[in-house]
Amino acid sequence: MKRFKKAVLNFVQEEDGPTSVEYAIMLALILIVCLTAVGTLGTDAVTKFCNVADALVN
């Protein structure tokens, strides 16, 4: 157990982790994917609602 604790402690101390620049890049990529998905789903939803409205009017 003592070796495991020491190994974890060494890992935490030596790990630099991602920098704020890497976090910003990941956030930007996630934002682009979300905006693209919302745009696509929004366009599809508008088309469906227009089709339903046209069907109700006719």
Task: Delimit the domains of the chain by residue range.
Answer: 16-57
Quote the DSSP letter at residue 13.
Answer: H
Predicted pLDDT of residue 28: 96
Kindly report the pTM of this predicted structure.
Answer: 0.52
> CA-CA distance, 51 to 41, in Å (whole number)?
15
Phi then psi dihedrals of residue 26, to 5 deg:
-60, -40
> CA-CA distance, 3 to 1, in Å (whole number)?
5
Q: What is the widest separation between alpha-carbon atoms in the chain?
A: 77
Predicted pLDDT of residue 29: 96
Query: What does the pLDDT average to over 19-47?
Result: 90
pLDDT at 40 over 80: yes
